Structure 1
């Protein structure tokens, strides 16, 4: 799992997290596990209802999960999951 610099502090300072045994996982279950280890990071990614925040984009092997099955999107062995947080300014 790849994180942008802005989210790395919430993941213990790392931008890359490995998840062993991804067979049968979904994006949602991956985020659940991430939340157990890094609760602050999960709150930056999902709201209190568990929905991915609208300014967060998640990609599995380069495909936006909004065009797939959202949090039910499968994550296979060797899949690359990238989480990007939009930054707006004015």
Structure 2
């Protein structure tokens, strides 16, 4: 649960996630950490977290998340602290080939 003072974060999503966000390429969400932001998005767009987390509750291995162009794997993962005006890019890897 996010507090009333949680910062507003811009979250950009690819076409795969736009199916969940009603076609929106960017959504605003509140939260002090990446995890809180994802909880906020999932509350408004049910199914969002299922696209980025596995059944074990951990991020899918092939989902890349960048905070202001920096991979969150190196900044604390989903517990990375956020501040107002930050931008998250959520990029699920696409499968392809023959």
Q: TM-score, normalised on structure 1?
A: 0.87
Name the structure with the higher helix share.
1
- Of 27, 31, 34, 1:27 maps to 34
Please list every run of 5 or more consecutive structure 2 residues that lacks an aligned counterpart in the other structure: 1-10
- Of 11, 16, 20, 2:21 maps to 11
Match of 2:91 in 1: 84
For residues 37-66 of structure 1, the C-alpha deviation after alignment (integer angstroms, 9 at most, x for no partner) is 122121011123321111111111111010
CA contact (8 A) 2:29 2:41 kept: no
Change (3 A) 1:39 1:49: farther
Name the structure with the higher strand share.
2
Runs of 4+ deviating beyond 6 Å:
none
Match of 2:80 in 1: 73
Give the paired residue count.
87
